[in-house]
Structures are given as C-alpha cells and as structure tokens.
Structure 1
Amino acid sequence: MAGARIVRAMVFTAGSVGGLSGAAYGLLNGQSRKARSIIGRPKELPLNADGVYLPDGTGPFLDAERPLTLAMLGDSLAAGIGAESPDRLLGVLLATGLAEEADRPVRLTTHAISGSKTFDLPAQVDRALINPPAVAVVIVGGNDVTSKSRISSSVLVLRTEVARLQAAGTRVVVGTCPDLGVVRSIPQPLRELASRFSRSLARAQRRELDRLGVGSVALGELLAPDFLLRPDQFFSPDRFHPNGSGYELAAGVLLPALCAVLPSPVQVSRLAA
C-alpha cells in the first residue's frame, strides 16, 4: 500500500461523489496534508529473503532437493514492507511455517512490489508463470482504494489472474483487501471513507474468488480488531504498514488456508522446482 496516496485519493473521491461544499472540501484537503506529513515516505530499500527454507526453520539456502515452491504476489503487504528484519517478512514467515507443516523444504519467491494495484498483477503473474509455483499467496487491494479504482474492474482483473495461476496448476490463497480504517494517522472523516471503500472491495473480492473455488482470507475482519486495540504493538514506525509482530498475526491467519490447499505429494513432486 502507499500511505501518502490514500489521503489524496480519498479527498478526490469524497469531493466528486459526495458533492461536498467548499468549506468541507477545504477541511478534507487540510486533513490530507496533515496525514501525508505524518505517514511520510519509505526511506530504505525493501528487504528480501527469497530462497529455500527447511522444516527446522533454517534458511534461506540457495537450493534443496525438490522443494515445494511458494510465490508471493501483490502489494507492500505481500512484500513485507515494514518488517524490521528479513526473518519477519510475511513471505518468510509463511515459508518457514509451510516447511514445518509440510515437512519438506519450501522455496520462496517474491514477485510482490510495494505500491502495486490489482491492475499490476498481470505482470507479476507473467513472471511467476515462467516456472509455475505449487502454491501462491496474493494480497492486493489497498492501492486500489487509494487510486480510485472501480471495484468491478479491480475484481475482474483479480479473477482473471487467479484463474491464470490455477490453469498452470498453482494452488492459490488470496488475502482480501485489509481495512484501511485501522490507520489512525489518516484523520477522520477520511479514515471512515477509506474503511468503507476497503471493506466493500474485500467483499467483492471474496464473492469473485468463491465463484472460482479459491480460498480467501478476510484480512480486514480478522486483523483489524488487534491493530485497532494495540497499534503500537503491530504497526511499523511509518504508522501505516505492519511491523514484524503485525506480519506474524497475518501469517497466523494465512497459514492454515495455505496448508489447506497444499497439493498431494504426487502433485507437489510434479510442481517442485
């Protein structure tokens, strides 16, 4: 997700859809400037710890014998922006958990890019399908909210790209759009607008995924209560992305769904790198 963009987009959307008065629009613009100054911009390159993880939790290694392959696709959450160290990236937490549960090595490959919208998924899926992974996690939607994307168009792209992964034999789990209403650095009423948009998108994503028979995890519903109750414990210093503890919460709700779609041993051997 891109914290600073959300406030600009919410101002535009509220003004164009709601027919705000000049005074109200000016108030929202003032709030957006304040929120942008608080959220700030990332100052460091994103962490990456792709490689092979073993059932004993060690890694990453360059290679192992016939590992299960896991791909991460989507936005900054899938990329793990905000984690304090490589071992606390969401992809690494899922890879190590999956290796333990499956009792086999897991090769992690991250295609997710911070700032990506659903409309950026096709390029990520193109890269993933060069060597189709056995399983893939997709987390996307936050930047669709910030960029005023149409929900109907967004979910159509998600459905198409997930279907492409399925056609290649990849088992897919999607984390639906998180609830941006947990980000307290976005002032009211912008925060409520962001929350409504993100919840509507998450519901639409889930409906499309259900039609495909694809497992989805309602990240907003499952994680928002903890983030609202203990923001200092789960947010990174930018006050927008999760920290390592926040990603541990996310991994805790995603891993069971990921294990549930694991291919059989025979299918895994065909898909392993």
Structure 2
Amino acid sequence: MFLPLARLYARLVFCRPPADWSVPAPDGRYEPTGSTEPAAPGDDRPLTLLVLGDSLAQSVGARRPGQTLGARLAQGLAEGTGRPVLLRVHARAGATTAAVGRQVLRAARLRPGIAVLIVGGNDVLLPAPLGRAARRFAHLAQALREAGWELVVVPCPDPGYAPGFRRPARWIGHVRSGRLARRHTRTAVRTGAHLAPTSGPEFRDRADTLLSPDGVHPSPAGYAAHATRMLPTLLEAAAQIRLPVPAAG
C-alpha cells in the first residue's frame, strides 16, 4: 500500500526518485559476539528492538541487511548490553504518522523492549494539517509507553538538508518539519520517552558520502552515521528495562 504512494509522491518532490525502493530485511536475532561485558544473571532472553516509521526507519538506500539502520542499532545494542537482541522492523517507505498506527498493531504480540519511532518526513510534505499528525504521534507514543515499551523518539527530520528534493519541497519541508519536530519533542518529554538526535546539515554538506544517489535517503555510510549518533540513547533506554529475576537455586 505504501510503496505506490511513495513512488507517486517521489515523482512530485524528488529531483531523482530512487530506482529501487526495496530494502533487505534485517529482522532476526543479533548476538553480542564482540562484547567484553559479562551477561548479568537473568538477562539471557533477547531484548526486543522494534523500528517503526517511514523510509528512513526502513533504510531505503541500504543494499545489504547489515547496512540498515535497524541492523546497526541491534548489533550495537547487543554489544553494549551483552544481551542478544531480537530485531523487528515494521517501518515502511511512504508511511505517514497515521500509517504507523498499523505498524504498532502488528507489534502487539512482541514482548516489549525498545521501540524506535522515526516519522514525519512524509507528513510535512503533504498538504495536510500538522496538528493532526502531531496528535496522532502523541497517541502512538502514549500507546507504546502504556504497552511497556521504552520509546526512543527521533524528532521529525528536516527535508531541507536533502539536496535531492526539489527546491519548493526543501523550503516547505524545512519550515514545517521544524514545527513538527518541536511537537515531537514535547510529546517525548511528556510521555517519558528518550530523545535521539535527528539528521543535521552534515547530510547536506557531505551528501556525496552520506546520501544515496537520490540525494534524499542515507547511503550505507549515512545509516552508519545515524546509528552512531542514536546508539547512546538506545543504551540509556536499555538501562531502564528491568531484567527478569533469576530463579532461586
């Protein structure tokens, strides 16, 4: 459903729409193979990492599973905590905030762990009220928190830093994304979520290495840069998750 929408919208706002929207699926179990930290008693069960949102969260532009944002975060989380991580990526290209509601429903059977939410880039480029997107975002954040997830919010990225967007889209996206990002930040603070850094001007200044050929989505190096910036926040979130109490011997 979302891929046709993404293609249609890309023809209107991209200078060079992506030739390939497919993303290699990184879902699975990630082991702390390089970790030097001993596993604490009772933490041998996998820690669930759920990635929700749009094409940035799904990692359009990555060519192999290990290059995706989800895989890099899952492996970094496994190494940093000494625990195995079970990754599930429900994000889809073209998703708006409203569409993420269906992604959350799909996660209902997962044991709560850390949920990463990256959305808003499509909302700010569509002719729709931002207030409605912000209210839906707040509802999603509250629902995830009430379901027991440690939520990591990446405030709405700024399309103005992506040279692959047409100039009007960059200007409109810059203005509207700032407004939506501020509302995302307020929601995160109000719900007790963790705030991770969003993309910045380095993606414009180093577009040749950090962006894929479409000039909008990150390249594998760009996703690596995103993961490096986000990982400390995920480790803070992991520290808030209570470990199961070991059975008495």
TM-score by length of 1: 0.79
Out of 43, 46, 70, the position equivalent to 2:23 is 46
CA distance, structure 1, for counterparts of residue 142 and residue 171 of structure 2: 33
The size of the alignment, in residue pairs, is 234
Amino acid at match of 2:157: P
> Which residue identity lines up with residue 232 of structure 2 in the other structure?
P
- Residues of 1 paired with 2:194 and 2:208: CA distance? 31
Contact 1:171/1:263 (8 A) holds in 2: no
* Separation of aligned partners in 2, 1:51 and 1:57: 18
CA distance in 1, matches of 2:64, 2:113: 26
Given that residues 75 and 114 in structure 1 are in contact (C-alpha distance below 8 angstroms), is that contact kept between their aligned partners in structure 2? Answer: yes
Unaligned runs of 5+ in 2: 36-43
Q: Where in structure 2 are the equivalents of 1:157-168 lying within 5 Å?
A: 157-168=136-147
Shift, 1:4, TM fit: 6.1
In the alignment, what sits opposite 2:40? none
- Report matched runs for 1:223-234 at 5 Å: 223-234=199-210
Structure 2 equivalent of residue 261 of structure 1:
237
User: Which position in structure 2 is the counterpart of 1:243?
Assistant: 219
2:59 to 80, 95, 98: 80
Which whole-Å CA distance do the structure 1 matches of 2:214 and 2:105 have between them? 31
Tell me whether 1:56 sits opposite 2:38 in the alignment: no
Provide the TM-score with structure 2 as the length reference.
0.86
1:109 matched to which residue of 2? Answer: 88
Instruction: Tell me the SS of whatever aligns to 1:101.
Output: helix
Deviations 1:215-246 (A, max 9, x none): 12240xxx322112110010112221001111
1:1-273 matched pairs, under 5 angstroms: 2=6, 5=9, 8=12, 36=14, 38-56=15-33, 66-219=45-198, 223-263=199-239, 267-269=242-244
| CA apart distance, 1:141 | 0.4
Q: 2:165, 2:215 within 8 Å by CA — same for their partners in 1?
A: no
Deviations 1:112-138 (A, max 9, x none): 111100011111111112223311101
Relative to structure 1, is the Cα distance of residues 75 and 212 closer, same or farther in structure 2, using a 3 angstrom cutoff? same
Letter in 2 for 1:153: R
Counterpart residue type for residue 255 of structure 1: L
**Which amino acid is 1:249 matched to?**
A
Q: Measured at CA, do residues 3 and 218 of structure 1 come closer, stay the same or move farther in structure 2, by a change above 3 Å?
A: farther
Give every structure 1 segment of 4 or more consecutive aligned residues whose post-TM-superposition deviation is greater than 4 Å: 1-4
Amino acid at match of 1:248: A
Q: CA deviation at 1:196?
A: 1.0
Is the Cα contact below 8 Å between 2:22 and 2:60 reproduced in 1? no
State the alpha-carbon separation in 2 of the partners of residues 186 and 230 from structure 1.
16
Query: Is the 8 Å Cα contact of residues 51 and 57 (structure 2) preserved in structure 1?
Result: yes
The change in CA–CA distance for 1:129 and 1:186 in structure 2 (over 3 A counts) is: same
Q: Which runs of 5 or more structure 1 residues have no equivalent in the other structure?
A: 9-31, 59-64
Supply the distance in 1 between the matched residues of 2:213 and 2:17 (Cα, whole angstroms).
10
- Are the counterparts in 2 of residues 234 and 246 from structure 1 also a CA contact under 8 Å? yes
What percent of counterpart residues are identical?
A: 36
Task: Give the drift of 1:42.
Answer: 4.1
